[in-house]
């Protein structure tokens, strides 16, 4: 079983829609969760972190965490073409190692 799994995508949404990106993890004691964005040909950059169950909002981005279900998601409201990128979920495990999912490619169509 992969440690961090993301819906494979690609995910295509129209401009202005809500994009929903999902991630599940296997290490039950994981405490910290992160979303990185990687534009084509660029390196990943951190956009959100979440540590507690529930929602965390930052502008158009909302991270949601459900530790009981071992599930973390990222919602992007009012999606813009500039949001088109690969989104990587990262989980800090009990061994203090940061593990990344393979990423979901998001395309926002004008």
Partner 1 sequence: KAGVTQTPRYLIKTRGQQVTLSCSPISGHRSVSWYQQTPGQGLQFLFEYFSETQRNKGNFPGRFSGRQFSNSRSEMNVSTLELGDSALYLCASSLFLAGVTGELFFGEGSRLTVL
Q: What is the DSSP letter of 29?
A: T
Residue 55 pairs with which residues in a beta bridge?
64
Which tokens sit at 91? 């989980």
Which tokens sit at 30? 């994981």
Residues in touch with partner 1 (CB under 8 A): 32, 34, 36, 42-46, 49, 88, 90, 92-93, 95-103
Give the closest residue to 106 by CA, choosing from 34, 17, 43, 45: 17
**Smallest distance, partner 1 to C-beta of residue 27, A:** 12
Given the complex with partner 1, which of 17 and 71 has the nearer CB atom?
71
**Smallest distance, partner 1 to C-beta of residue 25, A:** 13
**Smallest distance, partner 1 to C-beta of residue 108, A:** 21
Given the complex with partner 1, which of 68 and 96 has the nearer CB atom?
96
d(CA 7, CA 60): 21
Peptide bond into 32 cis (omega under 30): no
Given the complex with partner 1, which of 95 and 110 has the nearer CB atom?
95
Given the complex with partner 1, which of 96 and 110 has the nearer CB atom?
96
d(CA 104, CA 7): 6
**Smallest distance, partner 1 to C-beta of residue 92, A:** 5
């Amino acid at each position: 079983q992969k440690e961090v799994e993301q819906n494979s995508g690609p995910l295509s949404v129209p401009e202005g829609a809500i994009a929903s990106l999902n991630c599940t993890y296997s290490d039950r004691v994981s405490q910290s969760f992160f979303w990185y964005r990687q534009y084509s040909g660029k390196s990943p950059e951190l956009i959100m972190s979440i540590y507690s169950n529930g929602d965390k909002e930052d502008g158009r981005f909302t991270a949601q965490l459900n530790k009981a279900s071992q599930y973390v998601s990222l919602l992007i409201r009012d999606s813009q073409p500039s949001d088109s990128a690969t989104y990587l979920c990262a989980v800090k495990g009990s061994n203090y190692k940061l593990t990344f999912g393979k990423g979901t490619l998001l395309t926002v169509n004008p």
